[in-house]
């Protein structure tokens, strides 16, 4: 989470993504309300067994129900009881890279990749993609090391802290999700475990830039 002092006084979705501001997304979820927020999330493949020839537990929003504002707020920025593995994350983010269509991965040669159209509107996908381009291109963006100066890469970073007990410093896992913002030729998700003194952005910078 970004330090509050680093975030602009006036925050919108674009700046919240650039600075990775959890507070903005928590406030938005509370303002939207649980029912409407969950209805939007459930358009994505939560609870779905993906036929990608790799055993995995379906993605989940919560263990049971979201019964408190605290859990709703935590869910809005990827914490709480939300569970999504990297493959599921790539599938869900494909909606932004493909103008609202969720595209499933295909591992076995000869099959036809599944696609679900209109999960979100084309304009919503473009709005998020433009914000994620700025997360890369803005010098304050958390994914700025990926910048090539031409707005061709969209990116979102993440950090998960694993604590053995409260009030202690836990191991940090670093994530980067990046995709081709112009031609949708690639989408990459990478996680670096125990990313002390480095990050998934730095470790994947050269690789991602070579894909464009």
Distance CA 81, CA 101 (A): 26
Confidence of residue 105 (pLDDT cuts 50, 70, 90): confident
- CA atoms 166, 167, 173, 175: torsion sign: positive
* Domain spans of the chain, in order of start: 4-211
Q: What is the DSSP letter of 188?
A: E
Average pLDDT, the chain: 91
Assigned token pair, 206: 């050269």
Whole-prediction pTM: 0.89
Beta-sheet pairing, 187-192 with 153-162? unpaired
Q: What is the pLDDT of residues 30-49, one digit of tens each?
A: 999 999 999 999 999 999 99
* Beta strands, E only, 60-152: 102-103, 115-116
Mean pLDDT throughout 150-154?
96
Please state which CATH number belongs to domain 4-211: 3.40.710.10
């Amino acid at each position: 989470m970004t330090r509050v002092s680093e975030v602009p006084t006036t925050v919108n979705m674009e700046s919240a993504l650039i600075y990775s501001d959890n507070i903005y997304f928590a406030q938005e979820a509370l303002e939207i309300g649980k029912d409407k927020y969950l209805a939007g999330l459930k358009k994505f493949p939560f609870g779905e067994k993906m036929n990608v020839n790799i055993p995995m537990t379906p993605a989940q929003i919560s263990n049971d129900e979201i019964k408190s504002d605290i859990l709703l707020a935590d869910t809005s920025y990827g914490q709480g009881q939300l569970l999504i593995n990297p493959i599921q994350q790539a599938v869900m983010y494909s909606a932004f890279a493909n103008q609202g269509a969720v595209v499933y991965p295909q591992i076995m040669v000869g099959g036809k990749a599944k696609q679900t159209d209109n999960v979100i509107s084309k304009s919503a996908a473009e709005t998020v993609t433009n914000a994620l381009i700025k997360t890369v291109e803005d010098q304050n963006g958390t994914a700025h090391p990926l910048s090539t100066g031409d707005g061709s890469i969209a990116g979102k970073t993440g950090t998960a802290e694993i604590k053995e007990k409260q009030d202690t410093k836990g191991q940090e896992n670093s994530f980067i999700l990046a995709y081709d913002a112009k031609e949708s030729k690639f989408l990459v998700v990478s996680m670096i475990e125990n990313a002390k003194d480095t990050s998934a952005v730095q470790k994947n910078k050269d690789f991602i830039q070579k894909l464009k």
